[in-house]
Amino acid sequence: MKYITVPINTRAMSRLDFNDCMDGDLIELTIDEDNYANLLKSNVINQLNNALGINIDDYEDEKIINIDKLIIAKHIIESSIISNNSKVLIQLLTQVDNAIKYKTGVFFYF
């Protein structure tokens, strides 16, 4: 399983860094293998990696925490949804929207 996690505030984000989260600290999205395959097929991961200078990949942990980068990620995902309206892309967009709303970040545990 893969996880895409958003802390609900900056204190929760700090606790996440120390693996010391409390109940309610995180909004977690679990990605099964089929949805992960759809995510890869959409090419959104490669687009995020290239545009943001990050490395979301198997067996890697990655994060997007800068508000400007979160907004870029949002636009990339929205563009991908236009051509590939899959459930997992909508869920990913929701996570990015949550990170923008809470002024935290999106954490990928793949």
pTM here is: 0.95
DSSP state for residue 60 in the 8-state scheme? -
pLDDT at position 85: 81
Domains of the chain: 2-109 (3.40.1760.20)
User: Helix H segments across the chain?
Assistant: 10-17, 33-41, 44-52, 67-83, 87-102
Q: Is the pLDDT of residue 12 over 90?
A: yes
State pLDDT tens for residues 45-101: 999 999 999 999 998 899 999 999 999 999 999 999 998 889 999 999 999 999 999
